Amino acid sequence: MSLFTRNDIRNVAIIAHVDHGKTTLVDALLKQSHVFRTNEKVEERVMDSNDLEKERGITILSKNTSVMHNGIKINIVDTPGHADFGGEVERVLEMVDSVLLLVDAYEGPMPQTKFVLKKALELKLNPIVVINKIDKPNARPNEVLDEVFDLFIELGANDEQLDFPVVYCSAKAGTAKLEMDDEAVNMDPLFDMIVKNVAAPQGYLDKPLQMLVTTIDHNEYVGRIGVGKITRGTIKKNQPIAVIRKDGKVDNVKVTNLYVYTGLKKEETDEAKLGDIVAVSGIPDINIGETIADVSTPEALPFVDIDEPTLSMYFMTNDSPFAGKEGEFVTSRHLRDRLFKELETNVSLRVEETDSADCFKVSGRGELHLSILIETMRREGYEFQVSKPTVIFKEENGKKMEPIEYLTIDVPEEFMGVVMEKLGPRKADMVNMTSAVNGYTRLEFRIPARGLIGFRNEFMTDTKGNGIMNHVLDSYEPYKGEIPDRSRGSLVVFDPGVSITYGLFNAQERGILFIGPGVEVYEGMIAGECSRADDIEVNVCKKKHLSNTRSSGADDSLKLVPVTPMSLEKSLEFIAADELVEVTPKSIRMRKKILNTDLRKKARRK
């Protein structure tokens, strides 16, 4: 039994901070390896396949593709950059033999760069550093390279990892070069670098099959598809195999279809061997982290531990007066089935049943992680309501521990004061402050995850949209004490009906409105933010009493202040502990948990 090397294949993942150009780089590699026909119309960021990814310009799910270069097949995995989807990154790194660490030539290493690089170094991978966006007018590639080197040292990289190769790129222009002074024509220098520096898969071809399932795909014709890299042996179509479950149980099944990735397509194949990234169908309830092995000697492979969730919220069936009017799936059974189906592919998510059949506790990696799930379900026709996100605490040695986030903020100097003032009560400790280029200053803090709930919205207002904030889970520390909640109350509707200009005009003197005229409202629904600390009941359906003297045009003079539209994220950040967000395919409404005004007053007295 001799060690076998697959010289015709390379497996590599692209890791980076959000928005540093991973998906654009994959586009350039695909175009230059002639995956598309010359006359084929190709969308930008072709790997971001679902609607939410296209709209937000972010990658949510990792994707597999492959390109050919000089007869060598390069399997590429595009990963998400947001900390909330870190679970996707962690398990994908199990499939590859190296990573391309992509860094923006202007921004340099960011919190998420540190997070993904740490995971890659822990798995003993040797990264290739790609400095991207070198064609930006304010690019500073040489300083950024120094910053990357410092980051490798800080994360405890070994000598081999510190001796990383570097490529300078403009993914948008589709060019790469090894030195800044070189002439850049195409992506070949990067292709050559991957072939030269990514280790070819090694292992035993003549030993029994082993493959770890790291991703689940779904197809309505063949059902669930397990995706992973073959680490030992070969696999054939129609072959009997053993599936080793996470609890150690072994099931014997048969491979019905076997696929490999060619460009963006899955292609059927009869056989695949050591080093290939393959998709296997025919295993009805295959899960992430399970091992596909030989029937005669089933041996399990270890699976990477995924970071725990830090935030949880309750998903409930909708019980507002408008329940069932706009959604297709409205019952608790629909909600339960959908949430448990999500667990099959979303590794960082947890779903627990509660004492009530209509309520489920859902935990995730952050506000974005949970709001993407809510938005996806809403688009699929689900109608439900959710509570305010709360932080998950841990107990260690009898002490209450809470998650601490590492927060990086880039702001113009004039807004530094207001940002620091807002972060004080939220228990943030400043760690570092550096003046970045272009009049921006970088502020780094360690802050309890609780302190970040509801902060982004305020931050964008305070910095007039000029600030950039990023955060990533840093550690767990003893509880830091109370953090003050929202300082203002809500404007709560007390008469159901349709909102009218006259009623809204009277209400807007009390605060900021979230709804305009002609909106159907119910008692207990939130119509705006109060200018005081307490909630105030308002009648937005109030009509003007008719008198017998009327001047023409008197009502035309009622001017309404433009309303603040509340997106899903803004609504989740805004609501207090006694409020809910009602989510339907057509609307997002905020409401009190107790809708009746008198019952709410009674509950408050208690």
Per domain, the residue ranges of the chain are 3-202, 205-293, 311-383, 394-478, 490-574+589-605
What is the pLDDT averaged over residues 576-580? 92
Find out whether 289 is annotated in a ligand binding site: no
CATH of region 490-574+589-605, choose from 2.40.50.250, 1.10.540.10, 3.30.420.40, 1.10.110.30: 2.40.50.250
Question: pLDDT by residue (tens digit) across 228-257?
Answer: 888 888 888 888 888 888 878 888 888 888
The topology (CATH level 3) of 205-293 is Elongation Factor Tu (Ef-tu); domain 3 (2.40.30)
pLDDT at 52 over 80: no
Cα distances (Å, whole numbers) of residue 577 to 292, 427, 567: 46, 20, 19
Find out whether 23 is annotated in a ligand binding site: yes
At 116, give phi and psi (nearest 5°): -70, -35
Compute the residue count for the chain. Answer: 606
Q: What is the pLDDT of residue 49?
A: 42
pLDDT at 295 over 50: yes
Find out whether 397 is annotated in a ligand binding site: no
Alpha carbons within 13 A on the beta-carbon side of 136: 19
Task: Answer whether 13's CB lies under 8 Å from 96's CB.
Answer: yes
Fold identical between 311-383 and 394-478? yes
Question: pLDDT by residue (tens digit) across 501-540?
Answer: 999 999 999 999 999 999 999 999 999 999 888 899 999 9
Query: Would you tell me how many other CB atoms lie within 10 Å of the CB of residue 606?
Result: 4
CA–CA dist 17, 13 (Å, integer):
13
Task: Answer whether 59's CB lies under 8 Å from 47's CB.
Answer: yes
Give the single-character DSSP code of 382. B
- Higher pLDDT pick, 6 / 514: 514
CA–CA dist 298, 233 (Å, integer):
12
- Higher pLDDT pick, 537 / 84: 537
Find out whether 132 is annotated in a ligand binding site: yes
Share of the chain above pLDDT 70, in %: 89
| Structure-block tokens of residue 524 | 């207990």
3-state secondary structure of 421: helix
Find out whether 570 is annotated in a ligand binding site: no
The topology (CATH level 3) of 394-478 is Alpha-Beta Plaits (3.30.70)
Query: Would you tell me how many other CB atoms lie within 10 Å of the CB of residue 413?
Result: 10
Find out whether 19 is annotated in a ligand binding site: yes
Question: pLDDT by residue (tens digit) across 91-148?
Answer: 778 788 899 898 988 888 887 788 788 888 988 889 999 998 888 888 888 989 999 9
Residue type, 380: E
pLDDT at 552 over 80: no
What is the pLDDT averaged over residues 73-87? 67
Find out whether 133 is annotated in a ligand binding site: yes
Could you tell me whether strands 265-268 and 257-262 are parallel, antiparallel, or unpaired per DSSP bridges? antiparallel
pLDDT at 304 over 70: no
CATH number of 311-383: 3.30.70.870
Q: Which of 427, 312, 422 has its CA nearest to residue 367?
A: 312
Q: What is the pLDDT of residue 42?
A: 41
Q: Integer distance in angstroms from the first to the last C-alpha of the chain?
A: 76
| Structure-block tokens of residue 114 | 């540190």
CATH of region 3-202, choose from 3.40.50.920, 2.60.40.180, 2.60.40.10, 3.40.50.300: 3.40.50.300
Mean pLDDT, the chain, as a whole number? 84
> H helices then E strands: how many in the chain?
15, 37
Find out whether 20 is annotated in a ligand binding site: yes
Give the single-character DSSP code of 180. T
Query: To which H or E segment does residue 507 belong?
Result: helix 501-507
Q: What is the pLDDT of residue 555?
A: 56
CA–CA dist 428, 451 (Å, integer):
8
Q: Which of 132, 65, 128, 59 has its CA nearest to residue 100?
A: 128
Torsion of CA 410, 415, 421, 426, to 10 degrees: -40
